[in-house]
Amino acid sequence: MFFEKIAPYTYRIPRQGKMRVDAVFFASKEILKDLEAENYASLQQLMNVATLPGIVEPALAMPDIHWGYGFPIGGVAAFDPEEGGVVSPGGVGFDINCGVRLLASHLTLEDLLPRQKELADALYRLVPSGVGSERRDVRFSKRELKEILKEGAGWLVKRGYGYPEDVRFIESQGRLPWANPDKVSERAFERGAPQIGTLGSGNHFLEVQYVDEVYDEEAALAFGLFKGQVTVLIHTGSRGLGHQVCQDYVERFLKVAPRYGIELVDKQLAAAPIKSPEGQDYLQAMAAAANFAFANRQLIAHFVREAFEKVGFTPRDHGLRVLYDLAHNNAKFEEHRGRRVLVHRKGATRAFGPGHPEVPEEYRRVGQPVLVPGDMGRYSYVLAGTEKAMEVSFGSSCHGAGRKMSRHQAKKVARERNLVKELAERGILVRAATRATVDEEMPEAYKDVSLVVEAVEGAGIGKKVARLRPLIVVKG
């Protein structure tokens, strides 16, 4: 075996070959079986990440690890700019600042059930979803879009799309301040302009849920969660704009890597030194795309509130507030172990522990909310960040269940089934653009998220606070 167990749910791949540092991953017995079934392809990707210049030990993978572009999904890697550290678009991903926002309401399951169907229809009507989905009712000029790319979610709040307090509960207050729209290509603007306020396709979704289990009363109280409470989880990112930014800079980095003496064991790891002109350009373009994604989730949240109001819940009735909004595809400068490093998180989220100044004051005593969506048939989790995460995972945790079946496989398995009907019989109403989307996202296509959470909690990099069950699912 090329890895060894070093702590509960924690495994190390010792430095070997061209690796500059050890690699560490978190897994349960069931997750180890999944890794073996894929012939350890995603662990090989993690080992490849460990070959990049300036990486700070160790290269990491969360329990929802699976194969991705260059970096595995679930990958975390920190690079020291003073030691020749690099930035790699593959370590952020094509969907820059794909992330999740959790809205918590005053409503209970009993309040919602009589209007469940009506609400499902209203949400599907008000929040466009699907490949290439666009908003026709809200459009912004090129000048306005540039301002959004600089200002993020707050720009929309100032124009009535949300409440002023929303931004306090968004990671980085919904804005990466080093964003520069001038580093974003015209093609990226063209793709993104009509898509703000839309879900997109694939695994992106909007779910109305309810709290069916509370594990940590103190943290749940701090987060404002209670059993039977209705919540809404929004999962989407920067759409075509972020995808184009990634594509543009992967191509650019592949051309310049040899000039900087960067040897790539995999071309998908295309990288440039953080301090290089190319590295700086990417970071500014990435931040602009991240701000677009924060704004995208902000606009969707506005229309979610509107949907609740259209079916008869007044703003005072529903009380929908942002519990938290966090990214799981980003690169950020952070202080860890006394040094300033650029932390890439791809399919991984921040999980800052109690007392950290970047955690909203209301939550600081218990740690940052960590939002872990599952599949549309089972459940999602709210966790809290821990001190141990700050020590062993650069303050990071998992971002979801992680796929265990390709989209093609899922469609093949689902061919003889009517998943929309199956889920409706279990009290879950699905609204989707196409049957193919539902089939690709069938519950069995994903790991059971409870097994991922078990490994997170067992490794000490997050603690369970509450479990959420789906009632309405809007898919692309």
Residue 109 counted as an annotated binding residue: no
Residue 206 counted as an annotated binding residue: yes
Residue 375 counted as an annotated binding residue: yes
* Closest among 290, 366, 302 to 328, alpha carbons compared: 290
Angle, alpha carbons 171-437-348 (nearest 5°): 25
Residue 402 counted as an annotated binding residue: yes
Residue 156 counted as an annotated binding residue: no
Provide the Cα torsion 229, 238, 400, 352; round to 10°. Answer: -80
Active-site residue, selected from the candidate residues 66, 318, 344, 399: 399
Residue 329 counted as an annotated binding residue: yes
CB 391 within 8 A of CB 56: no
Residue 18 counted as an annotated binding residue: no
Provide the Cα torsion 175, 177, 181, 184; round to 10°. Answer: -80
* Closest among 94, 92, 90 to 264, alpha carbons compared: 90
* Closest among 382, 376, 398, 379 to 443, alpha carbons compared: 376
Q: How long is the chain?
A: 476
> How far is 34 from 334, CA to CA, in rounded Å?
32
Residue 356 counted as an annotated binding residue: no
> How far is 242 from 392, CA to CA, in rounded Å?
30
Give 446's DSSP letter: B
- Listed in order, strand segments (DSSP E) in 263-419 are 272-273, 321-327, 329-336, 339-346, 348-350, 369-372, 380-384, 396-398
Residue 95 counted as an annotated binding residue: yes
CB 379 within 8 A of CB 212: yes
Residue 207 counted as an annotated binding residue: yes
Residue 396 counted as an annotated binding residue: no
SS3 283: helix
> How far is 184 from 146, CA to CA, in rounded Å?
10
Residue 130 counted as an annotated binding residue: no
Strand 348-350 versus strand 321-327 pairing type: unpaired
Rg (CA), the chain: 21
Residue 120 counted as an annotated binding residue: no
**Is 399 marked active-site?**
yes
Residue 26's H or E segment, with its range, is: strand 23-26
Residue 42 counted as an annotated binding residue: no
Residue 399 counted as an annotated binding residue: yes
> How far is 335 from 341, CA to CA, in rounded Å?
6
Provide the Cα torsion 421, 427, 432, 434; round to 10°. Answer: -10
CB 207 within 8 A of CB 232: yes
> How far is 416 from 414, CA to CA, in rounded Å?
6
Q: Which residues are part of the catalytic machinery?
A: 399
Annotated binding site for GMP: 203-207, 328-329, 373-376, 380, 399-402, 475
Binding residues: 95, 203-207, 235, 328-329, 373-376, 380, 399-402, 475
Bind-site residues for Mn(2+): 95, 204, 235, 328
